[in-house]
Homo-oligomer: A and B are copies of this chain.
Amino acid sequence: MDQRFGLDKRIILPGDFPLAGGGVLPELTVAYETYGRLNANASNAILICHALTLDQYVASTHPRTGKPGWWTRLVGPGKPVDPEHWFVICANVLGGCMGSSGPTSIDPRDGQPYAMRFPVITIGDMVAAQTRLLDHLGIAQLHAVIGGSMGGMQALTWAVNHPARVQKVVAIATAARHSAQNIAFHEVGRQAIMADPKWQGGLYAPDAPPADGLAVARMAAHITYLSEAGLTEKFGRRLQNRDAVSFGFDADFQVESYLRHQGLSFVERFDANSYLYITRAMDYFDLAEPFGGNLARAFAGSPCRFALVSFTSDWLYPTAESRRIVRALNAAGAPVSFVELESPFGHDAFLLDAPEMNRVVHGFLAA
């Protein structure tokens, strides 16, 4: 089979899919993209895990926005993750809205969308769904799993929950748990969505979503993806289309106009209920929690090799969180390389041009 760019794929697996929270899905759908070809002994597979609002279109055109893949700087011909050498897989996360089972999916038991009847999921559930995809693709073990932000949380979870199925773990701009501040920002976003009367307890029609609430949620979150210095450099106090302030409530400042645009464009490509479920999964994420709070114990005995990358101006998942993971891996005796990269671009740095990050990933995959 030709698994080159741009072919929408999904698997539908009948039968119960049990979830960490005690819920059960009567069937599981995983939508995914692949790039390159799986070799004869199925040893060249690399799984890319995506962040909160991204999707499986890591290196191919997004079908709704028409925009190029979100990580073409890292994945693609001539890039560190080159489909010429690797069979690259990226799946829409469980709970997502780009084809995998989520609150927009139809519950086969009654033919209606799940909406808020969808069970609350965890990062571990997302990873478990990915293992089903690998089973389907005939891949016993990944050469590597790579992810940034929530993708990094999934990558780390692979090493803890399915250590025999992955050789190398690349976790970028991430953390092993959601902090109180992380939870707080997500809660603001959820409250903004739920406060929108159009949300209707999650039972909105596809063409009448709680767009205002979702836009506010996106705006609040977007600030956390950028650094104060980055915002100052990019926008400062520069005015929008005006020589002087208007003394009104229009978007006088460029940063206001930018944020409003971020909110508006987001609602065209993302589902509000999915946003609720995925943020909740992230808030519940604490890799050490089942191990009495001891992160080293979570990694104990892991045969995986690890590469971690953080960015100096990332205040969402700051370097201290990566260092905590590194210390735990050291204590667990797991081989780990770690680098903190200079960047003014905050958390978003991992999605931008980052030659040093590319070198780290390339070297780690080749080693």
A interface with B by C-beta (< 8 Å): 20-23, 116, 119-120, 177-181, 183-185, 187-188, 190-192, 194-197, 212-213, 215-216, 219-220, 223, 226, 228, 231-232, 234-237, 245, 247-249, 251-253, 255-256, 259-260, 263, 276, 280, 283-284, 286, 289, 315, 318
Contacts and interface: CB of A to CB of B under 8 A. Distances in A.
Contact of A213 (B116, B180, B195, B223): B195
Contacts of A191: 212, 215-216, 219, 260, 263
Nearest to A285: B237
A347 to B, nearest CB: 13
Contacts of A256: 183-184, 187
Contacts of A315: 228, 315
Contacts of A181: 223, 226, 228, 231-232
Contacts of A187: 219, 251, 253, 255-256, 259-260
17 contacts: A116-B249, A120-B247, A177-B237, A178-B237, A180-B231, A180-B255, A181-B223, A183-B253, A184-B219, A184-B255, A184-B256, A187-B219, A191-B212, A192-B195, A195-B196, A216-B216, A249-B276
Given A179-B232, A195-B216, 10 more contacts: A21-B247, A185-B223, A187-B251, A187-B256, A191-B216, A191-B219, A192-B192, A195-B212, A245-B284, A249-B276
Given A179-B231, A196-B195, A219 B188 contact: yes
A182 B318 CA distance: 20
A61 to B, nearest CB: 30
Nearest to A195: B212
B212 A180 contact: no
Nearest to A202: B249
Nearest to A234: B180
B237 A215 contact: no
Given A181-B231, A280-B249, A216 B237 contact: no
Nearest to A20: B247
